[in-house]
Structure 1
Amino acid sequence: MPKKVAQVPFIQSLDRGLTILQAVATSRQPVTLGELSELLGVDRSSAFRLAQTLRRRGFLSTPAGRKDYILGSAIWTLSRQYDWSNMLVRVAHQELKALAQGLNETAHLAIREGRSALFIDSVHAHHVIVVAGQTGELVPLYATAHGKALLADLGEKELHHIFGADSLQKFTKTTIKTIPALSRECVTIRDHGYATDDAEYMEGIRCVAAPIRLNTGMIVGSIGISAPASRFLKEHYPSHSKLVMLCAKKIGQLLSVSDEVSEQSA
């Protein structure tokens, strides 16, 4: 006999309002009232009242001279006031700790900060020789496993927008030096699900990291481990990357809307 799934109570009008916000936020163009009506499965007057309520509170806006919708200033204000990196640390720390303890190597959690990856949490290994990266440290996106994992979904045009047309700074003999090469590396990362750093930023250090994705596919961070090359051999990449990807997946699931809630709000 199939197990009965408990029904989670929710407020339909609030659910529909949040659905509108998600739709407008993920659309590249202003969203029309007709599109909102079709999305929600309600008549235009009901969709209009919901959208106007959000507009009244500043969560939606209408471009000058138009009647369709874009996000309002209240979204920007809230996002500026909230410390997203602190939220990610709270959600991910136990998984980060488990990863470091499982492999007995230094583990880092990172987010993108301009052209750099910012370590927002770290758990160190119990070795005499450990990687010295600390929370709060900025490292180059293109020369580190964490940074490349954060760039995984970008194409050559987007990478040029970030780094410009000049050659990339060389840190070691294995550093990626051009945007086309970095773009090819991003394709490999998307295919494999993880990024590597074979002494590309620091001599004698190897790293592996995976992007943390929401259930929408959006990358919100990266997690991985770093170790001296004398201890982290190339043949360890398959086993280490498997654990890193599993850890990233767990964190993504913790950050995402559950399938049960998604199904009930459909």
Structure 2
Amino acid sequence: MPEKKTAQVATVQSLDRGLAILQAIAATEHPVSLGQVAELMDIDRSTAFRLLHTLKRRGFLAMPAGRKDYILGSTIWVLHHHYNWNKMLVKVASNQLKKLSSQTRETAHIAIREGKQALFVDCAAANHMVAVSSRIGEFLPLYCTAHGKALLADADEHELKQLFGTRPLRKYTEGTLSTLAEIVKDLSVINRQGFAIDDAEFSPDLRCIAAPIRVGGEIIGSIGISAPILRVTPEANRINAERVSDVAIKLGEILAALQEDE
């Protein structure tokens, strides 16, 4: 039987070359000159210059003071720090996440903000026959989920306008807050009480609670739980909100202490 041919997907040559340049410069101990890049990539100097200039303008490369060669720029280190910080959050929060899930008997998640969305980066499954499925790697809207609103808690109206514009946002359910005025009002409540609630705003079958994890006053993630709406009583909601808030505060304190030790 003849082998199935794998479909060839076209690549963007300039992007491919730019990434190759970053890899090459990262692998060297010394700054790299324009001529060295042109020779290494087997391209003319004008093409090499345009690629290097673009990478420098975006902060991926920099030129040491008084020199005309290139080193990795601040954007690379910001991305590296962001990646390491998120890994640190998941590592530190793992035990607390499992404990929260065990205490509440509901699925617990850790999330971080990625642009206009919240991203689940870790979870602990609930000990229930009927439970919310674990969803690591899933993106959710910021404005109508507990995790999203916890991550947005410090945003003012100006930032919200930059993120979402001024038109009404998509309504996922009848309970979805879809205007900036509604979201601003809700964020004010979240800041005052220390946690966010998604009461069937994103999914009609779920009630979720999340709290922002703060380090040095900055929100770096969120922790929360998700449960079938029919199972959550007002009393359970109150107790679980306290548990979620307490865990978020504790994680912030642990991460702040680790940051001081760096």
TM-score (norm 1): 0.68
- 1:98 matched residue in structure 2: 99
Matches within 5 A, 1:114-129: 114-129=115-130
The superposition leaves residues 208-261 of structure 1 with CA deviations (integer Å, 9 ceiling, x where unpaired) of: 1000001x21100000001001111233222111100111011101110379x6
Amino acid at match of 1:119: F
Report matched runs for 1:77-156 at 5 Å: 77-82=76-81, 83=83, 84-156=85-157
What one-letter code is carried by the residue in structure 1 that aligns with 2:230?
S
Aligned to 2:241: 241
User: Separation in 1 of the partners of 2:118 and 2:132?
Assistant: 16
Counterpart secondary structure, 1:117: strand
Write the deviation string for residues 164-189 of structure 1: whole angstroms up to 9, x where unpaired.
Answer: 11111000000001011101111000
Task: Give per-residue Cα distances to partners, 1:151-171, cap 9 Å, x unaligned.
Answer: 001111110110111111000
CA contact (8 A) 2:124 2:134 kept: no
User: Matched residues, percent identical?
Assistant: 42
Secondary structure of residue in 1 paired with 2:198? strand
Counterpart check, 1:165 vs 2:202: no
Amino acid at match of 2:97: L
Number of residue equivalences? 192
- Paired with 2:221 and 2:133, the residues of 1 have a C-alpha distance of 20
What does residue 198 of structure 1 align with? 199
One-letter amino acid of the structure 2 residue matched with residue 226 of structure 1: S
Aligned-partner Cα distance in 1 for 2:258–2:94: 20
Determine helix, strand or coil for the equivalent of 2:159.
Answer: helix
Partner Cα distance (1:143, 1:131) in 2: 17
Which deviations, in whole Å up to 9, do the C-alpha atoms of 1:99-158 show, x marking residues without a partner?
001111000000011111000001010111111240000011111000000000111111
Q: Cα offset for 1:204?
A: 1.6
Pairwise CA distance, 1:79: 2.2
Aligned counterparts of 2:258 and 2:121: Cα–Cα separation in 1: 25
Distance 2:124 2:220 in 1: 19
Once the 2 structures are TM-superposed, how far is the Cα of residue 75 of structure 1 from its aligned partner?
Answer: 4.2
Instruction: Provide the secondary structure at the position in 2 that maps to 1:212.
Output: strand
- 1:191-212 CA-partner distances (Å, limit 9, x unpaired): 0000001000001210110000
Instruction: Please name the residue that 2:256 is paired with.
Output: 256
SS of residue paired to 2:221 = strand
**Over aligned residue pairs, what C-alpha RMSD do you find?**
2.2
Residue 154 of structure 1 aligns to a residue in which SS?
Answer: coil
Report the alpha carbon displacement of residue 80 of structure 1 after superposing the two structures with TM: 1.4
Q: Distance in 2 between matches of 1:209 and 1:239?
A: 13
Separation in 1, partners of 2:202, 2:133? 13
Supply the distance in 1 between the matched residues of 2:90 and 2:99 (Cα, whole angstroms). Answer: 14
Partners in 1 of 2:130 and 2:169 — Cα distance?
30
Q: Is the 8 A contact 2:97 2:109 kept in 1?
A: yes
1:6-39 deviation per Cα after TM superposition (whole angstroms, max 9, x unaligned): xxxxxxxxxxxxxxxxxxxxxxxxxxxxxxxxxx
Cα shift at 1:85: 2.0
Please name the residue that 1:27 is paired with.
none
Inter-partner Cα distance in structure 2 for 1:106 and 1:237: 14
Q: Structure 2 length as normaliser, TM-score?
A: 0.69
Structure 2: how far apart are the matches of 1:133 and 1:178? 30
